[in-house]
């Protein structure tokens, strides 16, 4: 993370779940420095299941991540 001075605007983000990642990303995009703390030692190995419909797809588009998401289909 870039540690340049941005006028002192910092925000504490507690945890690193899906909503916290999105919050930290958006804060960074608007010029804040997110300070993230997480209790877990490692990432979840199973990943996250996220279903994006309507507002969720629009939010991912506004964050600039929609085109980088990996789409998976159910395999029986």
Average pLDDT per block of 10 residues along the chain, 76 residues long: 66 90 93 94 73 85 87 60
Q: Quote the CA–CA distance of 43 and 22 in Å, as a whole number.
A: 16
Q: Quote the CA–CA distance of 6 and 4 in Å, as a whole number.
A: 6
What's the pLDDT score for residue 38? 92
Closest listed residue to residue 7, CA positions, set 34, 35, 32: 32
The shares of helix, strand and coil residues in the chain, as percent rounded to the nearest 5, are 30, 15, 55
Single pTM value for the model: 0.62
Q: Quote the CA–CA distance of 51 and 53 in Å, as a whole number.
A: 6
What's the pLDDT score for residue 18? 82
């Amino acid at each position: 993370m870039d540690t340049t001075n941005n006028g002192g605007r910092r925000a504490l983000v507690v945890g690193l779940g899906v909503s916290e990642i999105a919050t930290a990303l958006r804060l960074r995009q608007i010029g804040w420095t997110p300070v993230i703390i997480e209790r877990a030692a490692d990432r979840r190995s199973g990943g996250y299941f996220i279903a994006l419909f309507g507002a969720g797809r629009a939010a991912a588009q506004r964050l600039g991540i929609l085109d980088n998401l990996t789409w998976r289909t159910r395999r029986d």
